Amino acid sequence: MKLTSNDKTLTLDFDGKGTSLSMEGCRLLKFREFEDKIFLIGCYHYSVRKNQLDWIEGRTSSDHVKRYNVRLNTTDRKGVVDGFDYITREVDYVILYEAAMYNNTAQPKIYDVTDNTILHEQDMLDLNYPKPHGDYIVYTLGEEVFFEQIKLAQIIKFNQLVFPNWDDNTPLFLTGRQIRKSYTRNKRKTKFTFIDLFAGLGGFHLALESIGGECVYASELRDDLRAQYVHNYGLSRDRINPDITLLSSDEIIRRQVPAHDVLCGGFPCQPFSKAGKRQGFDDEEGRGNMFDFIEKIVRVHRPKYLFLENVSNLESHDSGNTWKVIESRLTALGYQVDKRVLSPHQFGYPQHRKRIYIVGADTRAGYNLNHFVFPVPTNRPCDVTRLIDTNSKYYLPITSEQRRRLNHWETFLHLCEEHHVQVPKFPIWAMEWGATYDYDVTAPAFQTVAELKGKRGHLGQRITGKTLDECLAQLPNYAQTNKNKEFPDWKIRYIQHNREFYEQNREWLQPWLEVMREWENSFLKFEWNCPATSTCTMHDKLVQFRASGIRVKDATFAPALNLMLSQIPILPWVNLPADTVKPGDPTIGRYMTIREASKLQGMECLDFSHLQPSRVYEALGNAVNVQVVKNIAKRLINIKNHGKS
């Protein structure tokens, strides 16, 4: 390839066939011919301290890969050219020049692009990038293409005229086509193949494809998620199994499931989850035996690697026996196996979501985990607010009732501060304030009417009634249980703490408490999960309206996305765009949007248009975290020799 220029055109010569790029009359430089190629013109800043060129050319990176990055989240540029995001365009070549030399005759470098992916700040740190800040689209560069010297001043001048608000060194696209408006994953060089079982939204797919994998098969039970998978990844429907239990024999598996290098699967977690019945392999709905079908596919195709995910409780379920069964069955097949419980927040990704990750290597084929090490938590500070779009108009607002409840608890926080009282670390049960019924020896359900009558129950109201049921109905709901003759220690402790707190602060608590007499039980419980250094307000926190009460935590990392819509994090500080608020509705405070929730999972590049909003939240709550999976996969899959011993 030969590249030359004059005052008006930039000419590229492909194998002797000249192709001109005109600078006149175009918002962007467009190809007149050869319209299947796209160029990105970028710059680097020469600095001995940052060694930017050394990093780009792979001389300082730990894996010696050449990369060029474009930051996505700067507030002045917002990663947009001509109305389209950088990530909507698939670049074929990158032309680089030194920023300090753009007014002179420069010697640019042109590289072909072998891959591109979205990397977050922690990824850039992992790559030893000098002082990263924010998220990037990173182009992996191939061979350098040599060409004659050109003057870049004309391009810079044109750039300034077209984009006057941008600085001199902003990258500029040369384009002859528009790619569809969604994240375009580059599939030019497949390095390994994988299958994505129990695929959901495709977290494994996103992670493994970003490091060179090609998905050749998937399974997903739910119809709408299969349609979503086809839409986002382009996998043909006949490659997505609607029911993995149909793989009932080795012959069917050989015929339907292609051979592959890596088997991935976030197999159903409900049988092992703390939130479920914990029936494990004996799950009454048959979900516990889904591991059997993973085992069958492994036995037939013997992939080089296994990569599975489940809830962290899998490790301790049934006193550790569940994990022992899984490990022994994989070991019997000839796989070396390892596991680790990890959470995104341990690596700077702002979500607390502990999951167990299981990896395996086929020792019979010469593969092993001898040099594999799970990512070591960096415990870098998290800040969930960087994912929040305060201008979003696509949101679910909180109700007027919820706003009033939050405002009243906000007053409680201010009263604590005013009276120099530390906000309790134990769960606040306001219905216990003023109560005097006995609880620490025998549970009320096993007491007599005479023992209860005349004492005080819910919100300090005097207990009356002729029957035990009538008396019990006047107690806080958690005190009415008849399962055990004695309360568990934790319940006794919380009741005691709440009564002591009330007695110590009765003078200012009682007037504040009067407003709450008709409130639902869930609004009478309040959990302040914030460190002592936090400001005594909810206006910079994350809030959840849970069945167990209102939970408040610092806006460092979000709680795990949950299948329950009632647990979607609330952002009480966000001012709502005026043109979206109905008369009489709150003007501040909303739920986390779908796009923001998808960022927590590393899935912001997906299009969710095939799903109802409630299903998107549910699917995100059941998905794997792309960034954690990617960090593990990069260590598991050795591209050069696939980890072979």
- The first and second tokens of residue 235, run together, are 């996998």
- CB contact burial 89-113 (16+ within 10 A = b; e otherwise): bbbebbbbbbbeebeeebebbbbbb
DSSP state of 456: B
- The first and second tokens of residue 259, run together, are 């051979």
506 contacts: CB under 8 Å, gap ≥ 6: none
In this structure, the strands spanning 240-241 and 213-219 are parallel
Mind telling me the catalytic residues?
A: 269
In this structure, the number of other CB atoms found within 10 A of the CB of residue 35 comes to 12
Q: Are 138 and 86 in contact (CB under 8 A)?
A: no
Residue 378 φ then ψ, to 5°? -95, -20
User: 3-state class of 135 per DSSP?
Assistant: coil
Q: How would you class 227 by CB atoms within 10 Å of its CB: exposed for 0-12, middle for 13-18, buried for 19 or more?
A: middle
Q: Residue for token digits 């050319």?
A: 57
Q: How would you class 255 by CB atoms within 10 Å of its CB: exposed for 0-12, middle for 13-18, buried for 19 or more?
A: exposed
Residue 84 φ then ψ, to 5°? -120, 140
Can you count the helices (H) and strands (E) in the chain?
Answer: 16, 29
In this structure, the strands spanning 136-145 and 105-106 are unpaired
Q: How would you class 630 by CB atoms within 10 Å of its CB: exposed for 0-12, middle for 13-18, buried for 19 or more?
A: buried
